[in-house]
Amino acid sequence: MCRCLEVSTSGFYAWSGRKPGPRAQDNARLLVRIREMHEDSKGVLGAPRMHEDLGDEGESASLNRVARLMAANGLQGWPQRKKRRFGQKPGSRPVGVENLLERDFDAVEPETKWVTDITEILTIEGKLFLCVVLDLYCKRVMGWSMHHRQDRHMVVLAVQMAVWQREGENDVILHSDRGGQFISGTYQTFLGGNALVCSMSAVGHCGDNAACEGFFGVLKRERVHRTHYRTRDEARADLFDYLERFHNPRMRRRDARRDREFQALIKPSVETG
């Protein structure tokens, strides 16, 4: 083999007995953590989100390096599945309610812009409906509820949970579509009594609530579409695991990292002043 490759036998034996260099050793260490995080997420983390989570832990590896290690070892996220969407006839907005977000899904402070919506989860036993309230600042699920009927009481319970977790007392914009649950008097009365300002999408514009729709898309791609639920209780347990043990802890770490970066930016200016 050495004669065919025109390599000296002494050089070959030196190469074969050589210990891995510092870069290879660090890649091996990093790969161990990547495998652990990929397994903990049940195989849904792709390279971009894996890179984010590693950064939250203090790793300085680049996105290309993380992607290269994952690809070389057969690790990948769960791909998005495309499907056709069929529109539904929207209801009428209550008097005085407008589209306050106007597709501006950026929030510079927590508890200023929330979005809410309902999605259905299929089980062998029947449908289970999930309602969530999402904070656009940190993308954390502030409130959620599940029920076998998508009625106004389920929506109010999700918003009530978000109100309980709210730390401030300032008014919060709560945006939704024009579903019957959101235009109901029960829902509107609850918002008015809890410093929540109702905002609703325009007619026939599903993009007006794209932030919440996007969250449901990720939830279904990473968890629901990979599982066959036999009962509603089984689906409830798995959705709770995703919301409170996977998604929200990640968003809290991301929020803490953003706060650290902000403090690092303002510290030199304070010291200079």
Among 68-77, 203-212, 233-242, 256-265, the range of highest mean pLDDT: 233-242
| Whole-number Å distance between alpha carbons of 203 and 167 | 33
102 phi, psi to nearest 5 deg: 55, 45
Domain that residue 166 falls in: 113-260
59 and 131, same structural domain?
no
pLDDT digits (tens, 9 = 90+) for 180-189: 888 888 899 9
Q: For residue 174, what pLDDT band results from cuts at 50, 70 and 90?
A: very high
Residue-averaged pLDDT of the chain: 85
Mean pLDDT of 218-243: 93
pTM over 0.75: no
Determine the pLDDT at residue 87: 45
For helices 22-40 and 47-56, angle between their N-to-C axes, nearest 10 degrees? 100
Domain boundary among 54, 72, 90: 72
Phi, psi (degrees; rounded to nearest 5) at 183: -95, 0
The phi-psi region of residue 151 (left if phi > 0; otherwise alpha if psi is between -120 and 50; otherwise beta) is beta
Q: Is 97 contained in some domain? A: no
Whether 83 maps to a domain, the answer reads no
Residues 53 and 47: their CA atoms lie apart, in Å, by: 10
Shared domain check, 67 and 141: no
The pLDDT tens digits of the residues spanning 40-65 come to 877 778 888 888 888 888 888 898 99
Quote the number of domains for the chain.
2
Instruction: Answer with the residue of higher pLDDT: 116 or 53.
Output: 116
What sign does the dihedral 159-156-211-81 (CA atoms) show?
positive
Is the separation of the CB atoms in 43 and 23 below 8 Å?
A: no
Burial of 194 (0-12, 13-18, 19+ CB in 10 A): middle
User: Are residue 132 and residue 253 in the same domain, yes or no?
Assistant: yes
DSSP state of 93: P
Q: Is 81 part of a structural domain of the chain?
A: no
